[in-house]
Structure 1
Amino acid sequence: MRLKSEIWVKAYLRRCAVAGASGVVARHGDDDAGAIFIKVVREDMQVAIFSPAPAGLEHADFDRRWVMGFAGAFVSDQDAEKLLEREARFDSDVWIVEIEDRDGRHFLGDELME
């Protein structure tokens, strides 16, 4: 069973803060089961988006797993925002968490799918 979205987001923001990054909830989704998207902003203002791994991937049904959008590249903030706006129109319960980290670290550890 997965942690509720709200609990996962709070723990993730704490993990980021402990490592020296600042994070905010840019969009608050459903507390229990809202999909979570993570926007990581580097010092040069380039952005990476991490989205939930597709259902059916190993352990994705029980643990949160992530895939990096834009073919694993950092993109402009404008391109990232377009993607996040589309997701929010598609699913009104979506969470968007924004992390500012000089080096563009994502703090997802083993939860990131290659």
Structure 2
Amino acid sequence: MTVDGAMRFVEVTLPGTRDQLSAGVGQPTRDRRDEVGHVVCRVKLHDGLTRPLRRALARDGCLGPVLKTGERAALRDWLTGVDLSPPHYQAKRSPRFELLVNRNSEPNLILALNAR
């Protein structure tokens, strides 16, 4: 676990792969410490961006726990269907959050979920 200001990060190797996942959560402001304002996922891929990995990031991965059931399904379907070939930058908005997707190079995929 590493700390960078209001952000907390953990880095793990995904089971059965050599892919590395960095997940971070951040508080919206110093006086609202009991809320999550930002969730960041960075995946360093060695085996490519597979369909199961896309689904897992929205369902069980670092984004899943902060999403409601309907939001998880919508985000999973969107991530599964969108072309994320690098370079790619796209935003998806909902009433509760904005998701920024950045595929800046072949091995990296960054998902940043910001509360609205």
Bucket of the pairwise TM-score, normalised by the shorter protein? 0.3 to 0.5
TM-score, normalised by the number of residues in structure 2: 0.33
TM-score, normalised by the number of residues in structure 1: 0.33
Q: Which has the higher strand share?
A: 2
Structure number with the bigger relative contact order (C-alpha 8 A, sep ≥ 6) is: 1
Larger Rg: 2
Q: Which has the higher helix share?
A: 1
